[in-house]
Amino acid sequence: MSKKLSATTAGSLPKPKWLAESKKLWPKWKIKEEDLWEGQKKSVLQWIHAQESAGLDIISEGEQFRIHFVHGFLQKINGISWDQKTKMGIRNNRYTVEVPTVTEAIVRPEIIHLREAEFLRKNTKKKTKFTLPGPMTICDTIANNYYQSREEMAFAFAEILNTEAKALATAGIDIIQFDEPAFNSFNQETIDWGVKALEAAIEGLQCKTAVHVCYGYGIQENIQWKQTLGNQWMEYKTIFPSINDSNINQVSIEFSGSNVSPELMLLLPDKEIMVGVVTVVSDIIETAEDVKNNILSALNFVDRERLIPSSNCGMAPLSEEIAITKIKALGAGTQLINNNN
């Protein structure tokens, strides 16, 4: 009998309209700070139920406790000035924003996401996944006014991420995923030190580890940049051999609704691959049959034992209704494959 496929999502899920601004990557909370924790827990419970009802096998909290996938982690780290903003080019100057600044040696005073991980673990019997920002992507989302180089700062963050990840694994998290969308904007730096910093972040972890790479979604600058790349996106060709040689267990990549060449999966023969069989780039709803066909197409490039059906990227830019429907299609399409062995 063929291995049963286990479906999951790539990361973020939309925050309810009553909790935060909707369909934004940088939303603002809508409820008072003293009520925020209870509201976040309520939202997480709703998304756990939605994922389980859809038949997903690996459950996340959908980043409901964080306002942004990077800054939600950084807000509790000492050594960062949130008052000293620096205008900085992001993703190799794809767009420019004002970001907080590292002004002294960074220190993590406490486990940042422990109670969130414990809450997730307590409220599902299925396998769990928790996402953290990767070292290179952190350094591409914050200004440096202390360390000698971006590389040095990345390894400082990797040390903090490593202790955080170990605490989350001890809390019962089965898979810890590091999000590294910056990898395909800095190919040479990824090879030189980005993957090494990621390996420093996962060193000694007893749970499974994953890295999510992507071309970026949710903002106009990403859309415009991708329009310049042609009909076949090959940027991963440079970095996938280094990722395959690393100690990371899983790699999350786009597939459906993107121009990423599926042949690039052949460059990851030693990794489990989370394949994006539902897209987050539009509100078009896939059917279960669509998802099944996307999985079958992906099986031409990665064997079944290593394939994990997933979304292309985080779903934060979508509405709740669209995301729930896509998750249902993801679960149902995966089940069609499993039913046919």
Question: Each residue of 144-199: pLDDT tens digit?
Answer: 999 999 999 999 999 999 999 999 999 999 999 999 999 988 999 999 999 999 99
Domain presence at residue 93 = yes
- CA atoms of 120 and 99, how far apart (whole Å): 30
Reading the block at residue 133, the tokens are 């920002």
Which residue carries 């479906």 as its tokens? Answer: 7
pLDDT at 227: 64
Among 186, 202, 292, 290, residue whose Cα is nearest residue 251 = 202
Look at 244 and 218; give whichever has higher pLDDT.
244
pLDDT at 292: 97
Give residue 67's identity as a one-letter amino acid code.
I
Domain presence at residue 168 = yes
Asked whether the beta carbons of 2 and 307 are under 8 A apart, the reply is no
Enter the pTM of the model.
0.95
Domain presence at residue 76 = yes
What's the structural domain count of the chain? 1
- Give the DSSP letter of residue 257: B
CATH number of the domain that residue 315 is part of: 3.20.20.210
Reading the block at residue 95, the tokens are 């767009």
Domain presence at residue 171 = yes
Domain presence at residue 165 = yes
Domain presence at residue 4 = no
- CA atoms of 295 and 182, how far apart (whole Å): 26
Domain presence at residue 102 = yes
Round the average pLDDT of the chain to a whole number and report it. 92
- CA atoms of 296 and 311, how far apart (whole Å): 15
Residue 96 structural domain: 33-339
- Sign of the CA dihedral with 90 first, then 95, 99, and 103 last: positive
Domain presence at residue 247 = yes
- Specify the DSSP element, H or E, that contains 236: helix 236-244
Classify residue 15 as left (phi > 0), alpha (psi -120 to 50) or beta.
beta
User: For 196-206, what is the mean pLDDT?
Assistant: 97
Alpha helices (H) in 140-216, listed in sequence order:
150-170, 187-189, 195-202
Among 262, 323, 332, 325, residue whose Cα is nearest residue 291 = 332
State how far the alpha carbon of 15 is from the alpha carbons of 31, 60, 124, 169, 279, in Å.
12, 13, 19, 25, 18
